[in-house]
Amino acid sequence: MNVATGSASAQFQIVGVIGAGTMGAGIAQVAAQAGCSVKLFDARDGAANAAITRNTEALKALAAKGKLSAEEATNAAARVKSVVDLNDFHDCDLVIEAIVEDLGAKQTLFKTLETVCGDGTIFASNTSSISITAIAAGLTRPEHVVGMHFFNPAPILPLVEVVAGQLTGDDAMNRVEAAAREWKKTPVRCKSSPGFIVNRVARPFYGEALRVLEAGGADVATIDLVLREAGGFKMGAFELLDLIGLDVNLAVTKSVWNAYFQDSRFRPSLTQEEMVAGRMLGRKSGRGFYSYPEGVPTPPASPFGPAPTMVQYLTESDALDPLVDRIKAAGIKVQSRKEDDPYGAGQLRVGNATLCLNDGRSATQIAFEDDLPNVVTLDLARDFTLTRRVALARGDATTTAALADAVGLFRAISVEVSIIDDVPGMIIGRTLAMLANEGADAVLQKVADAAGVDTAMKLGVNHLEGPLETADRIGLTLFNAILVNLEGHTGDDRYRQSLLLQRKMWAGASLR
Ligand code: NAI
């Protein structure tokens, strides 16, 4: 295949797409832009032609923006033809279905297609939640059935999860993977299992934010601000939930939760359930976690405190070192005791405050258990070298003056501060640890390899860095401590540690 000349794809010349809704129309456009002849079918009269008209407009708009030439746009649009009878798929090399998300409907469709298409035709499903093994059940050639999971909008998002059911053949996997590359997508292989990679590993992003909210840790706007400015996420969890639709997101969460036999890792949130019941669905209903058109409110400015001239590095860690370097670079003297923190966390003394990096315990618990005065916990930032913001929490026995001392340190190095309540795991620490934990379990269970999990999360949900890369960089000991302490505090099996995370930690190895 040569995309520049628009000649047909090397893997598949004639591609059938069934279902001309949001996804099917987009997939047809992607295949046509790569040079394939595409046949598009929809059970609803006129739907396929309407999709072709929309695609033609979209291609013209791309040409107007200079993303392709006018000739390429015209040729790509002309390659998609609507068909009105499934028998018209007889000469297709690949058929992708993007019909209603219903197992019975998908099985019936592929059973019919097996009688229509040649023996070599590959059948791909764009399902986001149904088992590929189940879709292939009852077919004569289950080895030809593959998941080809595009993300919405398909013409724009680069990720395609190429999913193997239990009986999928290597040849079908290899060919679909190669085709995805020819279509200028980034394929990631995975094993059929609930949520595949992205819809499974991304769950804690929403789940942990909702739990911080429910635990009274902070308000919605503060959690989002901390996720953006300390966590390095493009959007906060609540903004994103409002954009996706609380109902759509809840349906995915419930589907994954039920598919894993109600594993508490994926347990839905009562708050979200209640809001969906009240039709507070996000942007589309005018109200979700925020009200629209107003949207996300501007949060209050950071508090002030006195700038220190000196801090003591009480216990050291790799995770805290970058912050200490930044403090030194700002001209503040750092006195080190050169003692390593056993949990990979680390502590600083700033004026009256004992500033402890979040290890999954609350500030009050650390003060009590470690017999430390005036504990203020510091939430992890994705990167202390660059972060514009940190979150701090004071223990119940911590004085206001000590909190001001901690705030003063960050103001002195030009970092904004959000004060949150004394909730174990804070915001970023628990989110990053849980994303890595879920990613590690997906690797352990051979759903995908470590590089595949990271790539899928970067391309599928736009994360700056893969969850396993983050864990390796910040420290497995610290992530494990956060999970152990959260599990201890909540008694919730949700925080059980992935055996792979622990094995790599014990071996002093990395996840990647
Ligand atoms: P949609 O509702 O926009 O389009 C589905 C289309 O399929 C409709 O035009 C409908 O008339 C047609 N259809 C239904 N049953 C049919 C049948 N038996 N034969 C032929 N046509 C039939 O749905 P959407 O969002 O495009 O989803 C399609 C599939 O893609 C589902 O399996 C969904 O889970 C999956 N998916 C959806 C994503 C999304 O963000 N919307 C993302 C990734 C996957």
Question: What would the pLDDT profile of 251-288 be if each residue is shown by its tens digit?
Answer: 999 999 999 999 999 999 999 999 999 999 999 999 99
19 Cβ below 6 A of ligand 1: yes
Per DSSP, what are the bridge partners of residue 407? Answer: none
Mutation probe of ligand 1 site: the residue of 29, 42, 53, 243 with most atoms within 8 A of C-beta: 42
Q: How many A from CA of 83 to the centre of ligand 1?
A: 17
User: Do 436 and 389 touch, CB atoms closer than 8 A?
Assistant: no
337 Cβ below 6 A of ligand 1: no
**CA-closest residue to ligand 1 atom 44:** 128
Q: What pLDDT does residue 338 have? A: 86
- The domain ranges of the chain are 3-192, 196-298+428-472+479-512, 310-419
What is the C-alpha separation between 357 and 344, in angstroms, rounded? 9
Q: How many A from CA of 117 to the centre of ligand 1?
A: 21
User: Do 108 and 116 touch, CB atoms closer than 8 A?
Assistant: no
pTM score, two decimals?
Answer: 0.95
Which overall architecture, per CATH, does domain 196-298+428-472+479-512 show? Orthogonal Bundle (1.10)
What is the C-alpha separation between 31 and 511, in angstroms, rounded? 35
511 Cβ below 6 A of ligand 1: no
Encoded amino acid at 43, one letter: A
Enter the DSSP assignment of 349: E
Ligand 1 atom with the smallest distance to the CA of 47 is: 9
Q: How many A from CA of 223 to the centre of ligand 1?
A: 34
Question: What would the pLDDT profile of 41-81 be if each residue is shown by its tens digit?
Answer: 999 999 999 999 999 999 999 999 999 999 999 999 999 99
Q: How many A from CA of 247 to the centre of ligand 1?
A: 17
What is the C-alpha separation between 89 and 109, in angstroms, rounded? 12
Q: How many A from CA of 18 to the centre of ligand 1?
A: 9
Encoded amino acid at 404, one letter: A
- Write the DSSP string, 311-365: EEEEEB-TTTHHHHHHHHHTT-EEEE---B-TTS--EEEETTEEEEE--SS-HHH
Per-residue confidence in pLDDT tens, the chain, 512 aa: 444 444 554 899 999 999 999 999 999 999 999 999 999 999 999 999 999 999 999 999 999 999 999 999 999 999 999 999 999 999 999 999 999 999 999 999 999 999 999 999 999 999 999 999 999 999 999 999 999 999 999 999 999 999 999 999 999 999 999 999 999 999 999 999 999 999 999 999 999 999 999 999 999 999 999 999 999 999 999 999 999 999 999 999 999 999 999 999 999 999 999 999 999 999 999 999 999 999 999 888 888 999 999 999 999 999 999 999 999 999 999 999 888 988 899 999 999 999 999 999 999 999 999 999 999 999 999 999 999 999 999 999 999 999 999 999 999 999 999 999 999 999 999 999 999 999 999 999 999 999 999 999 999 999 999 999 999 999 999 999 999 999 999 999 999 999 999 999 999 999 99
10 Å Cβ neighbour count for 155?
A: 18
The structure tokens 């072709």 sit at: 52
Angle at 383 between CA 379 and CA 389, to 5 degrees: 55
Give me the phi and psi of 149, to 5 degrees please.
-95, 100
Q: Which CATH class is domain 310-419?
A: alpha beta
Q: What pLDDT does residue 282 have? A: 98
10 Å Cβ neighbour count for 5?
A: 9
Which overall architecture, per CATH, does domain 3-192 show? 3-Layer(aba) Sandwich (3.40)
49 Cβ below 6 A of ligand 1: no
50 Cβ below 6 A of ligand 1: no
43 Cβ below 6 A of ligand 1: yes
SS3 (DSSP) at 178: helix
26 Cβ below 6 A of ligand 1: no
**CA-closest residue to ligand 1 atom 40:** 152
Q: What pLDDT does residue 369 have? A: 96
Q: What pLDDT does residue 299 have? A: 85
Q: Which residues are tagged catalytic?
A: 128, 149, 161, 199
Q: What pLDDT does residue 4 have? A: 42
